[in-house]
Amino acid sequence: MQIVPAVDIRGGLCVNLVQGDYAQETVFSDDPVSQAIQWHEQGGALVHIVDLDGAKAGRCCILEQLKALCTQGVPYEVGGGIRGMETVETILGAGAERIILGTAAHADADFLREACSSYPGKIAVGIDAKAGKVALSAWLEVTSTEAVDFAKTVEDSGAARIIYTDILSDGGMNGPNLDATQAVAESVNIPVTASGGMSSIDDVHAVARLESTGVDEVIIGRALYVEAFSLGEAIAAAESIPTA
């Protein structure tokens, strides 16, 4: 189980939102690049970057920060506002290990297939769900599409991974939605990254127990920033799962 620390960027700052609500924002650093470097130095083999401005604008708003991360040797994945092949190519050219498609993957099936075909192994799809329904456009629009059904579509389109976020859990530190995450993982044969609600080492253990279902990564944001536990502690916990 890989622990993936998150760096959410808005207005050039490293922030955290509660349930995707821009009105419930906490600023944790004024230097997202330095924060990502710090997580990498503490053991993060991959850093999860979210372009919050891009998610609203429909374009990449953090290209210079991404280039800086590449220069500093920080492996990263990035999502938010990636809605065309030109943006995919630009971000991969800036050194991204993975591209995460969200809104565009749901709205434009041809784009999803083209991206997956052009860059095999590099395209993940972020499935953000509220009460089991897929949410789009920075979580402002909740669709009628079931997350499990969309997961199967994503797999058929050639995506290498699903990043599943339970919106009602995200940023709240009330624990992850294990049942929903497991349901998505068991519906497909590609790996799933869990996201949302991580609050304690017990939560890390709980998600790690889902590894047999196909959940092999977990993204952690706010809990690390408020020092509920350290990144090193989370990595150690994921490698040592209590039997009870």
Summary mean pLDDT of the chain = 91
CB 127 within 8 A of CB 184: yes
In a domain, 244, yes or no: no
- Domain range for 137 is 2-239
Q: Give the pLDDT band of residue 145 (cuts 50, 70, 90).
A: confident
The C-alpha atoms of residue 18 and residue 222 are separated, in whole angstroms, by 9
CATH of the domain at 100: 3.20.20.70
Catalytic residues: 8, 128
The C-alpha atoms of residue 119 and residue 242 are separated, in whole angstroms, by 38
Question: Taking 70 as the threshold, does the pLDDT of residue 137 lie above it?
Answer: no
Question: Taking 70 as the threshold, does the pLDDT of residue 243 lie above it?
Answer: no
The C-alpha atoms of residue 238 and residue 234 are separated, in whole angstroms, by 6
* Lowest-confidence segment of 41-55, 126-140, 191-205, 209-223 by average pLDDT: 126-140
In a domain, 130, yes or no: yes
Q: pLDDT tens digits, residue range 26-40?
A: 899 999 999 999 999
The C-alpha atoms of residue 97 and residue 109 are separated, in whole angstroms, by 22
Question: Taking 80 as the threshold, does the pLDDT of residue 231 lie above it?
Answer: yes
The C-alpha atoms of residue 209 and residue 198 are separated, in whole angstroms, by 14
User: Count of CB atoms within 10 A of residue 11's CB?
Assistant: 11
Q: Looking at the 3D structure of the chain, how many domains does it have?
A: 1
Q: pLDDT tens digits, residue range 59-115?
A: 899 999 999 999 999 999 999 989 999 999 999 999 999 999 988 998 999 999 999
* Lowest-confidence segment of 80-94, 118-132, 134-148, 185-199 by average pLDDT: 134-148
**Residue type at 92?**
L
What does the pLDDT average to over 190-210?
95
Q: Give the pLDDT band of residue 198 (cuts 50, 70, 90).
A: very high
In a domain, 125, yes or no: yes
CB 142 within 8 A of CB 150: no
The C-alpha atoms of residue 171 and residue 219 are separated, in whole angstroms, by 11
CB 49 within 8 A of CB 77: yes
Question: Taking 60 as the threshold, does the pLDDT of residue 171 lie above it?
Answer: no
Q: Strands, DSSP E only, in 121-205?
A: 123-130, 133-136, 141-146, 161-166, 192-195
